[in-house]
């Protein structure tokens, strides 16, 4: 997966670099506090607030995605193209899938007069390894 990047015209500071590197090292879901613990060993002056703000910057540039229903403030690395997440509630692992059952834009337009721009869907369950 491509290296996570900050939005354009955002200054890369050593503290932000430590957070971005810590995010880059995660495969499954992670919390801000987990990232903070990893990043702080690379950059001891790092604060939790900076960690939150940097992850928010990554969220805005679409390279991390918040997992709303994970029951804790968890995130996963992401990419901008269309896919959904299969989140394992046992191990925290996250798989991406191209499967999508969202109503088509045309159907939404016809039935609701609604012009769809985007949709989000995360599926929670137990992965193949944990089953
Ligand atoms: Zn994703
Ligand atoms: Zn699992
Ligand atoms: Zn979809």
Distance of CA 55 to the CA centre of its chain: 9
- Considering only CA atoms, which of 91, 90, 95, 60 is closest in space to residue 76? 95
- For the chain, how many structural domains are there in total? 2
Ligand nearest to the CA of 66: 1
Which pLDDT value is given to residue 68?
78
Instruction: Give the domain extent around 47.
Output: 14-77
pLDDT value for 130: 96
**8-63: per-residue pLDDT in tens?**
888 899 999 999 999 999 888 899 999 999 999 999 999 999 999 999 999 988 88
The answer to whether residue 4 sits within a structural domain is: no
67 and 96 co-located in one domain: no
Q: Tell me how far the alpha carbon of residue 4 lies from the centroid of ligand 1, in angstroms.
A: 12
CATH of the domain at 99: 3.30.1490
Question: What is the residue-averaged pLDDT of the chain?
Answer: 90
Token pair recorded at residue 94: 């996250």
For ligand 3, the distance from its centroid to the CA atom of residue 54, given in whole angstroms, is: 27
Kindly state whether residues 71 and 90 are assigned to the same domain.
Answer: no
Report the alpha-carbon distance of residue 109 to residue 68 in Å, rounded.
27
Per-residue pLDDT tens over the stretch 73-104: 789 999 888 999 999 989 888 999 999 989 99
pLDDT for 71 equals 62
In a 13 Å sphere around the CA of 60, the CA atoms on its Cβ side amount to 11
Q: What is the CATH number of the domain that holds 19?
A: 1.10.10.10
| Residue 86 Cα to ligand 1 middle (Å) | 9
Task: Kindly give the distance from the C-alpha atom of residue 84 to the centroid of ligand 3, in angstroms, as a whole number.
Answer: 6
Percent of the chain with pLDDT over 90: 64
User: Is 5 inside a domain boundary?
Assistant: no
2 against 16, higher pLDDT:
16
Residue 59 maps to a domain: yes
Residue 8 inside a domain? The answer is no
The pTM is what?
A: 0.79
Which of the listed residues 77, 97, 114 is the one where a domain comes to its end? 77
Q: What is the DSSP letter of 44?
A: T
> Distance from the CA of 105 to the center of ligand 2, in angstroms?
33
Give mean pLDDT, residues 58-73.
82
Q: Do 106 and 66 have their domain in common?
A: no
Q: What is the pLDDT at residue 100?
A: 93
Same domain? 70 vs 90? no
Closest to 40 (Cα-Cα) out of 19, 57, 25: 19
């Amino acid at each position: 997966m491509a290296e996570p990047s900050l939005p354009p015209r955002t200054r890369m500071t050593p503290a932000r670099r430590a957070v971005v590197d810590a995010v880059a090292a995660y495969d499954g879901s992670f919390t801000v506090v987990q990232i903070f613990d990893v990043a702080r060993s690379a950059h001891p002056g790092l604060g939790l607030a900076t960690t939150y703000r940097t992850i928010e910057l990554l969220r805005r540039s679409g390279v991390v995605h918040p997992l709303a229903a994970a029951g804790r403030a968890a995130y996963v690395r992401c990419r901008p193209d269309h896919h959904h997440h299969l989140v394992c509630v046992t191990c925290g692992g996250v798989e991406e899938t191209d499967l999508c059952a969202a109503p088509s834009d045309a159907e939404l337009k016809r039935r609701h007069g609604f012009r769809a721009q985007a949709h989000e869907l995360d599926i929670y369950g137990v992965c193949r390894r944990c089953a």
